[in-house]
Structure 1
Amino acid sequence: MREKATITSSELGTLWLTYQEKTMILRMLEYFIEKADDEKAKDIMTNLHAELEVYVGKIVKIYEEEGAVIPIGYTAQDVNKDVPKLYDNGFDIMFVRLLKEISMGLHSLNLTMTFREDINRLFEGLTALTQNYFRICTQYLLEKGLLVRSPYVSMPKSVEFVKDNSYLGGIALNPLSKKRPLNTVEISHVHKAIESNLTGLQLILGFAQSADDREVRQFFNEGAELAKGIIKELSEVFIQTNLPIPQSPGGNATRSTVAPFSDKLMMYCTSLFCSFSMGSNSLGTAFSLRNDLSAKNAIFIKDIFEYAHSGAKIMIKNGWMEEPPQMEDRKQKMN
């Protein structure tokens, strides 16, 4: 008799997605560890790599116990550790921190779609690990002066309530309409979006100058322009409110044109970041009460979706998009 219930479709799907993401992260960490010139950063990434390998092994074991084929994910063929540095000045930990930010959301969502206790515990463990390394990376970057804190504001002295609909002002179609100052919730989302896009911009610039395939290089160049546009739009929002624009002094791409990663891996990484960006902009829309901010975020989501869709076509064309486990086509079986 089976000691455990058979895993459900949602559990199979969340494990598959996690395997794809973690094997990609492991390959990228291997390169960054090899090229690290700061011992503390190297230790952080080495420890993270070791802990993530354990969880990848747990996923493999569950697949084997269920008689399911092990996904391919990303292997040693997708990384070349012997090429020159593609990124410098603290980018490795900036990138890891952003990955942990993405992973925190994914693991929390995955927990809501799993039922078996061992799989629950797997995602609980990944959540705790991710939160820990996000904190470690944040403190490292602050110590190195490579992370810009969000703006400070005066502390509130009384509780206020919205008095009329003008609070929602800032109509996107009328640039001359009066806009109230941003509230702290809105500031946090705008600041986070600028910060994430700045890191994403450097990542994709490195991809663009090192990718092998010409179409892939063009795709990354288009992504860089998209990130620049979002940064410019949101920075203008801060300027209009007399707030400082977050600009990190670190994390730049070098002049190297030799790819440390396969085009397949870089395309998947970009796709993952697009999904994260759409989710973040959706949250920004949900928690922004100024109409112009909601309108901007809606446009960003549309543009990012279209960009990600064009990337998916490139991946399919080149045979790089691994299919998630499928349900049986019962209609076909009936014919």
Structure 2
Amino acid sequence: MPDKPALSSSEIAVLWTTYQQKTMFLRMLEYLIKHADDAKAKTIMEDLHEETNVYPHKIKTMFQEEGASVPIGFTEEDVHLDAPKLYENGFDITLVRMIKEISMGMHTLSITMSYREDVIEMFQTLTAITQKYYAICTNYLLEKGQLTRPPFVPMPKSVGFIKDTSYLGGITPMSKSRHLNMVEVANLYHGVEANVAGSIMIDGFAQVAHEKDARKFFERGSQIAKDIVHDLSKKMLESKLQVPIASNGNVTESTTAPFSDKLMMYCVSLFCSFSVGSGSIGTAFSLRNDLPAKMVIIMQDIFAYAHDGAKIMIKHGWMEEPPQT
């Protein structure tokens, strides 16, 4: 038996996907580091870049050892370090935190699709790095007042079981909706928080995109995110819960693109995929009928939007083809 078996199809897939995501993130991180105003934020991003930068090289080596073609991913041609600052007021760490949240899910899923010991160990290490920096970014934003906690509610004093199917009501205007339970609040708030930050990111992309169809695509995405924030916030307000979202950054007046349209389109595609997955989890754990119904509509809108984005990427030759069987 060889010391290491050949990479399986699923391992090639998760390594290829990780290479795309990591090279994108490193290019974005390089730009954010150069334009960081806060010394602590800059140190966080520099340390993260140092710990992450080795992994595209490791994946490249794995492919080369197998005689497989190395993906292109995102290179120095996809970032313009001298472009003026596009985001300010702490949005750099907010953006890093968002991408680390996506990475946590991706790495965990990748472990479940890996069988070779060195591949599993790599994703375990990446998971630990991602969790560490997600926590660092969260604490940084809380300390700076750029991230708020979800609503506080009275502590539960008893336990019980649902005794009536009316607990599931709320899908029709005539049916009475109960107040949200805490599991539902958690998922709604997460959706609001993610889409507030996402709309800021996409606003910046829309402002600097070169291609007209990409610019219109980003403008549409920003509006979708704002509509989701409005719809989910309304559900919380109906249960007399405030939605305390802190000001976590804004877009400057710069119209010079720090990233290629290819990179920005891929980034939005990645966020759409995460949003659909996150929405599915929220739907699965929501017991009030109107909430899954609302989330299904939202996920359909996001899926249609992402599909239109894929067409734009294919049109301009920006979508790298995954390895074929």
- TM-score normalised by length of structure 1: 0.96
Q: Which residue matches 1:37?
A: 37
Deviation by residue 1:197-235 (Cα, 9 ceiling, x = unmatched)? 001000000000100001100000110111111011001
Alpha-carbon displacement from aligned partner over 1:155-186 (angstroms, at most 9, x marks no partner): 11111111100110111xx2342111111110
Q: Distance in 2 between matches of 1:175 and 1:237?
A: 14
Secondary structure in 1 matching 2:53: helix
Distance 1:153 1:236 in 2: 18
* Amino acid of the structure 2 residue aligned with 1:116: R
| Corresponding residue of 1:97 | 97
AA at the equivalent of 1:99: I
Q: 2:198 & 2:15 partners in 1: Cα distance?
A: 26
Paired residues of 1:191 and 1:246 also in contact (CA < 8 A): no
CA RMSD of aligned residues (A): 0.9
Verify the 8 A CA contact 2:195 2:229 in the aligned structure 1.
Answer: yes
Distance in 1 (alpha carbons) for counterparts of 2:295 and 2:74: 32
Q: Separation in 1 of the partners of 2:306 and 2:244? A: 26
Deviation at 1:2, TM superposition (A): 3.6
Match of residue 250 from structure 2: 252
For the residue of structure 2 that corresponds to 1:279, the secondary structure is: helix
**1:253 deviation in Å?**
1.1
The structure 2 residue matched to 1:233, chosen from 227, 231, 234, is 231
Does residue 131 of the first structure (1) align with residue 136 of the second (2)? no
Among 281, 285, 295, the alignment partner of 1:297 is 295
Q: Report what 2:53 is aligned to.
A: 53
List aligned pairs for 1:145-164, cutoff 5 A. Answer: 145-164=145-164
Once residues 264 and 217 of structure 1 are traced to their aligned partners in structure 2, the CA distance between those partners, rounded to angstroms, is 12
Tell whether the 8 Å contact from 1:194 to 1:246 is kept in structure 2 after alignment: no
**For residues 175 and 325 of structure 1, what CA distance do their matches in structure 2 show?**
49
| Cα distance in 2, alignment partners of residues 110 and 200 from structure 1 | 24
Distance 1:270 1:189 in 2: 21
- Aligned partners of 2:197 and 2:248 also within 8 Å: no
Is residue 285–residue 293 contact of structure 1 (8 Å, CA) maintained in 2? Answer: yes
- 1:175-254 to structure 2, matched below 5 A, reads 175-254=173-252
Question: 2-side partners of 1:39 and 1:59: how far apart?
Answer: 31
In structure 2, the residue corresponding to 1:313 is in which secondary structure? helix
Aligned 1:73-88 pairs, distance under 5 A: 73-88=73-88
**Corresponding pairs, count:** 325
* SS of equivalent residue, structure 1 residue 284: helix
Residue 274 of structure 1 corresponds to which residue in structure 2? Answer: 272
Equivalent pair of 1:169/1:180 in contact (CA under 8 Å): yes
- Distance in 2 of aligned mates of 1:217 and 1:188: 33
Note the residue ranges of structure 2 that are not aligned, 5 or more in a row: none
| Structure 2 CA distance for aligned equivalents of residues 219 and 75 of structure 1 | 23
Structure 2 CA distance for aligned equivalents of residues 220 and 182 of structure 1: 33
Q: Which residue of 2 aligns with 1:333?
A: none
Task: Give every structure 1 segment of 4 or more consecutive aligned residues whose post-TM-superposition deviation is greater than 3 Å.
Answer: none
The 2-side partners of 1:135 and 1:214 are apart by 38
Counterpart for residue 323 of structure 1 = 321
Question: Cα distance, 1:255 vs. partner?
Answer: 1.3
- Tell me the residue number matched to 1:111: 111
Q: Aligned letter for 1:140?
A: Y
Unpaired stretches in structure 1, ≥5 consecutive residues:
328-335
Q: Is the 8 A contact 1:195 1:246 kept in 2?
A: no
Measure the CA separation in 2 of the matches of 1:3 and 1:157.
57
2-structure distance, mates of 1:303, 1:46: 36
TM-score normalised per structure 2 = 0.99
Matched letter for residue 321 of structure 2: E
The residue aligned with 1:10 is 10
Q: What is the CA–CA distance in structure 2 between the aligned matches of 1:34 and 1:268, rounded to whole Å?
A: 22
1:176 and 1:135 mapped to 2: Cα distance? 44
1:28 partnered with 2:28: yes
Q: Counterparts of 2:37 and 2:156 in 1: how far apart (Å)?
A: 44
Amino acid at match of 2:304: E
